[in-house]
Amino acid sequence: MDLLSIARGPALKAALAIFFFGVTWRLVGIFLLRHNWQLSVGRAGTGASLQGALKSIFTFRRPRLSRPRRSPMESTADAAVAVGSRSWPHPPFVRRTLYGETIGYLYHIGLALVVIFSAPHILVLKSFFGAGWPALPTPVITIIAVLTLALLFAALMRRLGSPVLRHLSNFDDYYSWSVVTLVFATGLMAHGHVGGPYQDVLAWHILSFDLLLAWFPFGKLMHAFFLTPSRAIAGYLLKRRGAPV
């Protein structure tokens, strides 16, 4: 079997299997862990209404409370608030972290647009989900993809340029970045028909995606699944102890 058939066939199947196995294992394993009981009473006066919670997701501001005790509804609202309010740095820190935050948001958006709205990807997703949707024009995808690749490298430069970040970074950080950038770069090469026979470039793109899927559950890429639950839980816990979110 040639490389492309392997990439599209057994390698993809194995990668998907590892991905679903790993993600489910980690999520189930973590959520079923024994956690400590909350023995104290939930603090009053620091919860939120659901309306306030929703509003806070978009305004990134702490909502005001009125009820004296924490109800399940309030607790849920706390969780939702935390997801929103941690989506942007608190005002005193914005100036220091603006660059990193902006790069991060922009390349995530770029990745999402390219993955979801480029024609060959829609065909793949259609084969998984049964339905497709209109694609963005090819030249638009090219521009977005080039900008996103540049932003990925900007993110790496930022990590390497800051002594603090360099000190904090480990194999996981660099490897996860490499795996994502490799998929993106090979995809751009296939899109532009450069870098060798199309068959091989496409095969390497699909194989690097298989590698991404296989690595996903075991590194920091899992933040995709952990982000929302961990913020929500933090919000819930902090609010019931009377801390601001």
Partner 1 sequence: MSTDKSVQTVNDMLDQHGISRRTFLKSCMLAASAMALSPMAGSAMAKELGGRRRPSVIYLSFQECTGCLESLTRSFNPTLEHLIFDVISLDYNDTLMAAAGEAAESAKEKAMRDNYGQYVLVVDGAVPLAYGGACHTAAGKSAVQILQHAVKGARAVVCVGTCATFGGLPIAQPNPTGAVPVPSLIKGKPVINLSGCPPIPVVMAGTLMHFFTFDRVPELDHLKRPKMFYGNTIHDRCYRRPFYDAGKFAESFDDAGARNGWCLYKLGCKGPTTYNACATLKWNQGVSFPIESGHPCLGCSQPGFWDGGSFYAALSTPKWGRAGEGSPSKAGEVAGASAGIGAGVGVAAAGLSRYRKYRRAHKAPAGMDAGGDDNTKEE
Question: Residue 190, exposed/middle/buried by CB under 10 A (0-12, 13-18, 19+)?
Answer: buried
Query: Which residue number, 2 or 58, has a Cβ lying nearer to partner 1?
Result: 2
* Spatial separation of the C-alpha atoms in residues 7 and 159, rounded to whole Å: 32
The verdict on 194 binding partner 1 (CB under 8 A) reads: no
The verdict on 41 binding partner 1 (CB under 8 A) reads: no
* Spatial separation of the C-alpha atoms in residues 177 and 153, rounded to whole Å: 9
CA distances from 118 to 20, 54, 125, 139 (A): 24, 32, 11, 10
Candidates 19-27, 83-91, 95-103, 230-238: pick the segment binding partner 1 (CB under 8 A): 19-27
Candidates 16-24, 150-158, 176-184, 233-241: pick the segment binding partner 1 (CB under 8 A): 16-24
How does DSSP classify residue 48? -
The verdict on 105 binding partner 1 (CB under 8 A) reads: no
- Least distance in angstroms from the C-beta of 82 to partner 1: 24
The verdict on 32 binding partner 1 (CB under 8 A) reads: yes
* Spatial separation of the C-alpha atoms in residues 194 and 92, rounded to whole Å: 46
**Count of residues binding partner 1 (CB under 8 A)?**
51
> Residue holding tokens 């102890």?
241
First to last CA, the chain: 56
Tell me which of 40, 72, 95, 128 binds partner 1, using CB under 8 A: 128
What is the H or E stretch that residue 24 is in? helix 10-31
The verdict on 28 binding partner 1 (CB under 8 A) reads: yes
Query: Which residue number, 17 or 94, has a Cβ lying nearer to partner 1?
Result: 17
The verdict on 120 binding partner 1 (CB under 8 A) reads: yes
CA distances from 84 to 111, 120, 230 (A): 21, 33, 12
- Least distance in angstroms from the C-beta of 76 to partner 1: 22
Rule CB under 8 A: which residues touch partner 1? 1-2, 4-5, 8-9, 12-13, 16-34, 36-37, 39, 119-121, 123-124, 126-130, 135, 137-139, 141, 193, 197-199, 202, 206
